[in-house]
Amino acid sequence: MFSALQITWREILDIGLVALVYYRLILLFKGTRAVPVISGLILVLGLYWLSGEVGLYTLNWFLANFLGSIFLVIIILFQADIRKALSNIGELRFWFTKRVGEETLNEVLQALTAMAKTRTGALVVFEKRVPLGEFIEKGVSVNAQVSAELLQTIFHHNTPLHDGAVIIKGDRIAAASCILPLTHDAKLSTAFGTRHRAAIGLSEESDAVVLVVSEERGEISLVRDGRIYYGLTEAALSGKVKEALES
C-alpha cells in the first residue's frame, strides 16, 4: 500500500511551509481577545450543522444568513488583529523577532528598580514584531544607547520628557514622551492609573512588551497581550520580561 507512495522534496517543502504559516498564525492569536471569539464562531458552525441535521429549519435559516456575512463579521471583530498581522508581514517581522540584548535589559531593569524605590512613575515599551512608528513619530526622537542613567534622567519629574512613554527598538531608545492609546476595558480595576491603562491599550493593539513603574505603590508591572502582571519579585519580573521578549 505504502510502496507506491512517492514523496518528493517539493511535497515536504510544501507541507513544511504550510505548517510554519499555521504555527506563526497561532502565535499571533495566542493570548489575545481573538481566542474566545474564534471558539464562539466554531460553536455557531457546529450549531448550524446540527440544526440542519435534526430539522430545526428556522434556526438553520437564521444561522445561514448570519454565516453568509461571516467575512464582514470577522473583519469587524478582528480589525486590530488583522492590522497587526498585516503589519508584521509588511515589515517582514511575521517570521522574525527583534532581540533585545542582555545588557540592554539589565540597564532597563536597573533603572526601573531604582525609580520604583523613589516612587518615580515610568513607562517603558519594547518594540517586537509589530512596528510602533506611529507612536515614535508623535514622541521626541532620542536615538540613543539604552542606559540606566539616561532612563532615570528622562523620567525625572523636572525634565520635559518625563510624561509619556519611552519606546525601545532593539538596543536603542527610539523616542521619549510618546503618547499611547488607552484601553477601553471597563473591567480594569480603578487602582490602575493612566500609565497602566496606556500600557494595556498598546499591548492590545500590538505585541509590544511594556513595563510600568507605579508612583502610588512603588512597584513594577509587566504588561503584554492585554494582560497586566504586578506584585512580582525582582527575580520573577526579570524572568517574565525575558520570556515575553523571546516569545
Residue 112, pLDDT score: 94
What element of type H or E holds 67? helix 57-68
Q: Residue 94: left if φ>0, alpha if ψ -120 to 50, beta else—which one?
A: alpha
Show me where the domains of the chain are located: 9-90, 102-246
For range 152-176, the mean pLDDT: 91
> What tens digit of pLDDT does each residue of 26-71 get?
666 655 556 666 777 788 888 888 888 888 888 888 888 877 777 7
Residue 155, pLDDT score: 94
Residue 69, pLDDT score: 76
For range 227-237, the mean pLDDT: 87
For range 148-163, the mean pLDDT: 91
For range 224-243, the mean pLDDT: 88
Under the banding of pLDDT at 50, 70 and 90, the label for residue 121 is: very high
Nearest to 230 by CA among 247, 242, 218, 243: 218
Pick the CATH number of 102-246 from 3.30.70.2190, 3.40.50.1400, 3.40.50.150, 3.40.1700.10: 3.40.1700.10
